[in-house]
Amino acid sequence: MKVTINEGFSETEIIINCHSANEEILKMVSILRSFDKKLIGNKGGKTHIIDFKDALYFDSVDKTSFIYTMDNVYETALKLYEIEERLSGMGFFRSSKSQIVNIAKISSLCPDFGGRIEVTLQNGEKLIVSRKYAKELKERLNL
Amino acid sequence: MKKFISFLFYIKSFASMIFTGLILAYIAAGWLYSIVMHEQFNYTIPAIFVLQGIILALSITILWYLIFTDAVLKKLRYWIRLICFVLILSLVLTGLFLMFFTYHTDWARLWIIIAMLFVCVTAGISVIAEIYFRLTGKKYTQVLENYKKNISGF
């Protein structure tokens, strides 16, 4: 892969010249986009740019990560740990081994048996925070 | 295939654990009974009890898998799962009891009363716990709202 940096421009612009936008390229774009807090999601063969603030939660199923927004579900090339790293300190938390939740999109919390917490999101969807991560959430909220 | 093998391992280990528990409970109960009744405790376990133990261990394991894991019932509150579990388990136990002790009608009646009490007590505890959780949940939600307000960007 050839990398060329041309200096002397007023605005930074990145152009990728490639044969096709394969998974590796999309991942690269995701990483670059994360600098301005945008995420790249794919749906129905189309690529979408998603503001991280619009994400309700991220879920990983069979080694594939998904971005859930109020109305849509997008597939992303990023792994869950990479999403976690990029969004650290931006109001997201791990709710289980396979999920990351946007705190801003939680409408209510309710504890459950076994130290778990049930999270209700703004779209009415309910998620379970496992015992291990419920403890971390409580510490974060000073509960 | 990987999922199926992990399911089989889950069934094997959980059922073995339940079966061991039942055998230990049998020994403990027999030993206590012998002390109370001043009888010699016989450590021999009847074959019928072993058969019942295997059926029961497998029933509990499968029930547990269906009710308490997210394999079938996803995102369901724990108290509903608990009530379903004790209700179905009581029915299974009553069925087993009637199957193996058909002629002991007094015992059967007593067992059904105990099973019903067990279900009612569990349901009562679950409902009380759920009310407590919902009240605590309101407090948690209030703290969450304050947290959101204190973080810039929300």
The reply to whether B77 touches chain A by the CB within 8 Å rule is: yes
Partners of B125 on chain A (C-beta within 8 Å) are none
- For residues A21-25, give the mean pLDDT: 84
- For residues B76-94, give the mean pLDDT: 86
pLDDT band (50, 70, 90) for residue B102: low
CB-closest option in B78, B136, B141 to A113: B78
Q: Architecture of domain A23-140 in CATH? A: Beta Barrel (2.40)
pLDDT exceeds cutoff 60 at B152: no
- Per-residue pLDDT tens over the stretch B103-137: 666 767 777 788 888 889 989 999 999 999 999 99
Interchain proximity B148–A142, CB inside 8 Å: no
β-bridge partners, A57: A68, A101
What does the alpha-carbon distance between residue A143 and residue B137 come to, in Å, rounded to a whole number? Answer: 11
Q: Shortest CA distance to A55 belongs to which of A43, A47, A66, A46? A: A66
Interchain proximity A141–B78, CB inside 8 Å: no
Interface test with A, best of B77, B125, B142, B146 (most A CBs within 10 A): B77
- Residue B153's region, left for phi above 0, alpha for psi from -120 to 50, else beta, is left
B6-45 b/e with 16+ CB inside 10 Å = b? eeeeebeebbeebbeebeeebeeebeeeeeeeeeeeeeee
Partners of B153 on chain A (C-beta within 8 Å) are 53, 90-91
Phi, psi of B102 (to 5 degrees): -55, -35
pLDDT of residue B154: 44
Could you tell me the two tokens for A141? Answer: 């909220």
pLDDT of residue B70: 76
pLDDT of residue A36: 66
A79 near A65, Cβ under 8 Å? yes
pTM, full prediction: 0.68
Partners of B151 on chain A (C-beta within 8 Å) are 91, 103
- Per-residue pLDDT tens over the stretch A58-111: 999 988 999 999 989 999 989 999 888 888 777 899 999 999 999 999 999 999
- For residues B60-76, give the mean pLDDT: 83
CB-closest option in A114, A126, A143 to B75: A126
pLDDT exceeds cutoff 90 at B75: no
Residue in the structure block whose two tokens are 């394969």? A22
- For residues A33-40, give the mean pLDDT: 73
Residues 85-104 in A contacting B (C-alpha not used; CB under 8 Å): 90-91, 103-104
The reply to whether A116 touches chain B by the CB within 8 Å rule is: yes
The residue in chain A having the minimum alpha-carbon distance to the alpha carbon of residue B143 is A141
- Per-residue pLDDT tens over the stretch B21-56: 888 888 888 888 888 888 887 778 888 888 888 888
Q: Shortest CA distance to A100 belongs to which of A57, A135, A131, A43? A: A57
Interchain proximity A109–B141, CB inside 8 Å: yes
pLDDT exceeds cutoff 50 at A133: yes
CA of B106, closest CA in chain A: separation in Å?
A: 37
Partners of B136 on chain A (C-beta within 8 Å) are 110-111
The residue in chain B having the minimum alpha-carbon distance to the alpha carbon of residue A140 is B147
Partners of B79 on chain A (C-beta within 8 Å) are 113
What is the SS3 assignment for B118? helix
CA of A72, closest CA in chain B: separation in Å?
A: 20
Angstrom distances, CA of residue A10 to CA of A13, A34, A38: 10, 21, 22
- Domain residue spans in chain A? 23-140
β-bridge partners, A50: A39
Interchain proximity A128–B75, CB inside 8 Å: yes
Which helix or strand (DSSP H or E) is residue A83 part of? helix A80-86
Mean pLDDT score across all residues of chain B: 84
